């Protein structure tokens, strides 16, 4: 087994997903299948191979550090599930 | 007869000569959508009033028409459209309306296109059958019991059934090319960096590209001409000149060197598909091309590498959906509880599966074994293609190993679904331009021919595709949907 139920629960927590017991069961089986399939890559010797993170030959694309117009605050808040006084509103972060 | 069956060049001429109007085109599109959309499920959002209003304005406007002026188009729902609902096929963005246009939409609006609406898709682009849409599935206009392919299935099915003149899709591991193949239309994935990704809702940022889905190769050249080019808003957009794509369509492929990977013509490829691809290769030979078999030794590892890399990038990109700034929210007992409820409720099964896989392969202790290993294998796959392109002009093979499969046939086991992408994924990992165009029918269903080029050589890809298309036997129209075509 590449991955256990406990590990699946742990990964879900890292990914901020809450899973039912049925989902844990399902994902454990499916992730095992996929990870077992991925172990095929170990057949290849990649000792002296550089990794490719993306295909273009470019790095550190910079622009002048100048002020530019940005999104309007009221407009931006139009899509917010909850807002107050021109800000996004979320449940309390600290316990009282 | 539906006006929208005509190529862009013909529609443009008829509009210029005032033989048809923008209103005619808009009404034609809406009529066809009315006849077929209940069966096909292609649209997630339709702007009927807006389409009619823009058509009226376009007819009143004096001045020059550009080739795409007044043409009704559908845009995949992961491409941001200002003030028009954009959900990426996900419940988590059910009520999201972008404040800005994707760069491709800015280009198209300058050409005065007429945007009809947003096309159904697999949630966030994750799927090969459109059965992973967060809303409803799309059906194939050739056979309503079969899938249209994915993830740009809505775009491909809409073009195939003449609902729109052309559509935009996006391709991460085959999401333009495979649905184009399954629906019998043309789909072009440009070189990574050719078309701006600004405003494209990210799935796997090192792979995603926007491209056209059209009825013929020349139409794809028109659309690419409009959307290609450097964009300072996308730091991975390449500052490379955009050639005149239309003028490359000469039909002359005499002396062209064509490589056919044996890995894509052997086991695992449906015999009907192989037969049609072989016939297409004979057509190329007849036109003067030199066709030779080659080997891409690492192709067998591409799907495994992709399903580590793409989910890893996705798990990071999709962290933004937390119910705070936009989209869907489920209230919880505290902040973390709110995050978890929102995400668990808003994402579908496949998206959760990929977030989990990606989180796992990026997590401490597994990064080297899975993610880094896959990045190294990605290098080997790129090198396979580089070697071939030292000697050959294009690589040709099937787009998909089968024709459109039946609905629910591959939903139980995610791996069987993933393996449908064996011919498109390697090309995505190498960032190369590729087109899929129909090369005949197998048991009544379209077969896709894939033509792959060197980086930024969309010109070569279009030229070969166009030369083949000129010589191909005409295809029938899909007839599984109602109404007069």
Domains identified in chain A and CATH numbers: 5-42 (1.10.20.60)
pLDDT for the residue numbered A39: 93
CB contact under 8 A, B335 and A33: no
Q: How many angstroms away from the CA of A12 is the closest CA of chain B?
A: 6
Per CB-CB distance under 8 Å, the chain A contacts of B202 are none
In order of start, what are the domains of chain B with their CATH numbers?
3-254+434-471 (3.90.1300.10)
Q: Does A87 touch chain B (CB under 8 A)?
A: no
Residue in A with minimal Cα distance to B344: A17
pLDDT for the residue numbered B484: 57
Q: How many angstroms away from the CA of A82 is the closest CA of chain B?
A: 8
CB contact under 8 A, A44 and B377: yes
Q: Does A56 touch chain B (CB under 8 A)?
A: yes
Q: Does A2 touch chain B (CB under 8 A)?
A: no
CB contact under 8 A, A53 and B332: no
Relative to beta strand A83-84, strand A87-88 is: antiparallel
Mutate to test the interface with A, among B240, B373, B434 (most CBs of A within 10 A): B373
What is residue A86's DSSP assignment?
A: T
Per CB-CB distance under 8 Å, the chain A contacts of B339 are 16
The pair of structure tokens assigned to B224 is 């690419």
pLDDT tens digit at each of 485 positions of chain B: 689 999 999 999 999 999 999 999 999 999 999 999 999 999 999 999 999 999 999 999 877 899 999 999 999 999 999 999 999 999 999 999 999 999 999 999 999 999 999 999 999 999 999 999 999 999 999 999 999 999 999 999 999 999 999 999 999 999 999 999 999 999 999 999 999 999 999 999 999 999 999 999 999 999 999 999 999 999 999 999 999 999 999 999 999 999 999 999 998 999 999 999 999 999 999 999 999 999 999 999 999 999 999 999 999 999 999 999 999 999 999 999 999 999 999 999 999 999 999 999 999 889 999 999 999 999 999 999 999 999 999 999 999 999 999 999 998 888 888 999 999 999 999 999 999 999 999 999 999 999 999 999 999 999 999 999 999 999 999 988 876 55
CB contact under 8 A, B352 and A17: yes
CB contact under 8 A, B325 and A35: no
Does B165 participate in catalysis according to the annotation? no
Q: Can you give the length of chain A in residues? A: 96
- Residue B90: name the closest of B318, B296, B310, B300 by CA: B318
Which one of the listed residues B76, B91, B276, B410 is annotated catalytic?
B76
Q: Above 80 in pLDDT, residue A96?
A: no
pLDDT for the residue numbered A63: 87
Cα–chain center distance at B142? 18
Q: Which residues of B342-351 are buried (b: 16+ CB within 10 A; e: fewer)?
A: bbbebbbbbb
Cα–chain center distance at B119? 11
Q: Does A37 touch chain B (CB under 8 A)?
A: yes
Q: Does A58 touch chain B (CB under 8 A)?
A: yes
pLDDT for the residue numbered A45: 97
Does B110 participate in catalysis according to the annotation? no
Give the one of A17, A46, A51 whose C-beta lies nearest to B344's C-beta: A17
Inter-CA distances, B166 with B93, B185, B219, B405, B457, Å: 25, 10, 8, 24, 22
Are B190 and B201 in contact by the 8 Å Cβ rule? The answer is no
Phi, psi at B258, each rounded to 5°:
-115, 125
Are B261 and B296 in contact by the 8 Å Cβ rule? The answer is yes
Relative to beta strand B166-171, strand B72-76 is: parallel
Are A36 and A11 in contact by the 8 Å Cβ rule? The answer is no
Does B69 participate in catalysis according to the annotation? no
Q: With bands split at pLDDT 50, 70 and 90, how would you rate the model's confidence at A1?
A: low
Mutate to test the interface with A, among B100, B376, B425 (most CBs of A within 10 A): B376
Are B174 and B428 in contact by the 8 Å Cβ rule? The answer is yes
**Can you tell me the distance from the alpha carbon of B213 to that of B165, in angstroms, rounded to the nearest whole number?**
10
CA angle, B371 then B376 then B382, to 5°: 125
Q: How many angstroms away from the CA of A92 is the closest CA of chain B?
A: 6
Q: How many angstroms away from the CA of B472 is the closest CA of chain A?
A: 34
ipTM of the prediction: 0.95
The structure tokens 């290993």 sit at: B373
């Amino acid at each position: 087994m590449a991955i256990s139920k406990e590990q699946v629960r742990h990964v879900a927590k890292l990914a901020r997903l809450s899973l039912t017991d049925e989902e844990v069961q399902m994902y454990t089986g499916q992730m095992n299948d996929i990870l077992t399939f991925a172990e095929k890559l170990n057949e290849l010797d990649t000792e002296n191979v550089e990794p490719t993170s993306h295909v273009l030959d470019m790095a550190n694309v910079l622009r002048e550090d100048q002020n530019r117009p940005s999104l309007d605050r009221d407009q931006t808040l139009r899509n917010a599930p909850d807002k107050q006084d021109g800000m996004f509103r979320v449940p309390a972060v600290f316990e009282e | 007869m539906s006006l929208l069956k005509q190529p862009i060049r013909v529609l443009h001429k008829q509009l210029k000569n005032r033989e048809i109007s923008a209103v005619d085109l808009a009404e034609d599109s809406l009529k066809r959508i009315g006849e077929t959309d209940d069966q096909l499920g292609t649209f997630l959002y339709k702007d009927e009033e807006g389409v009619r209003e823009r058509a009226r304005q376009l007819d009143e406007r004096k001045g020059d028409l550009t080739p795409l002026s007044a043409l009704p188009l559908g845009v995949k729902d992961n491409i941001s459209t200002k003030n028009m609902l954009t959900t990426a096929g996900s419940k988590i963005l059910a009520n999201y309306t972008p404040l800005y246009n994707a760069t491709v939409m800015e280009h198209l609006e300058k050409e005065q296109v007429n945007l009809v609406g947003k096309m159904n898709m697999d949630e966030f682009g994750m799927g090969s059958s459109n059965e992973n849409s967060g809303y409803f599935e799309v059906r194939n206009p050739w056979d309503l019991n079969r899938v249209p392919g994915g993830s740009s299935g809505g775009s491909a099915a809409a073009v195939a059934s003449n609902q729109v003149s052309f559509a935009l899709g996006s391709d991460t591991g085959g999401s333009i090319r495979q649905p184009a193949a399954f629906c019998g239309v043309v789909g072009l994935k440009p070189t990574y960096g050719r078309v701006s990704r600004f405003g494209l809702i990210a799935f796997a940022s090192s792979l995603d590209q926007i491209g056209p889905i059209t009825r013929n190769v020349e139409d794809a050249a028109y659309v690419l001409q409009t959307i290609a080019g450097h964009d300072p808003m996308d730091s991975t957009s390449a500052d490379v000149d955009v050639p005149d794509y239309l003028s490359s369509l000469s039909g002359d492929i005499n002396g062209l060197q064509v490589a056919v990977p044996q890995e894509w013509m052997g086991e695992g490829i449906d015999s009907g598909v192989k037969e049609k691809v072989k016939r297409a290769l004979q057509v190329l030979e007849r036109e003067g091309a030199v066709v030779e078999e080659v080997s891409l030794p690492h192709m067998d590892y591409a799907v495994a590498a992709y399903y580590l890399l793409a989910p890893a990038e996705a798990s990071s990109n999709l962290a933004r959906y937390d119910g705070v700034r936009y989209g869907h929210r489920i209230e919880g007992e505290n902040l973390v509880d709110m995050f978890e409820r929102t995400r668990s409720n808003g994402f579908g099964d496949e998206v959760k599966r990929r977030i989990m896989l990606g989180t796992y392969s990026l997590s401490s202790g597994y990064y080297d074994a899975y993610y880094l290993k896959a990045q190294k294998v990605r290098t080997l796959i790129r090198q396979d293609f580089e070697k071939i392109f030292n000697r050959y002009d294009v690589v040709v093979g099937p787009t998909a190993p089968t024709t459109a499969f039946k609905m629910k046939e591959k939903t139980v086991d995610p791996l069987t679904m993933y393996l449908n992408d064996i011919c498109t994924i390697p090309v995505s990992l190498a960032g190369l331009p590729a087109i899929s165009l129909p090369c005949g029918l197998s048991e009544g269903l379209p077969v896709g021919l894939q033509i792959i080029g060197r980086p930024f050589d969309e010109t070569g890809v279009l030229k070969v595709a166009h030369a083949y298309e000129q010589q191909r036997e005409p295809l029938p129209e899909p007839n599984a949907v109602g109404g007069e075509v």
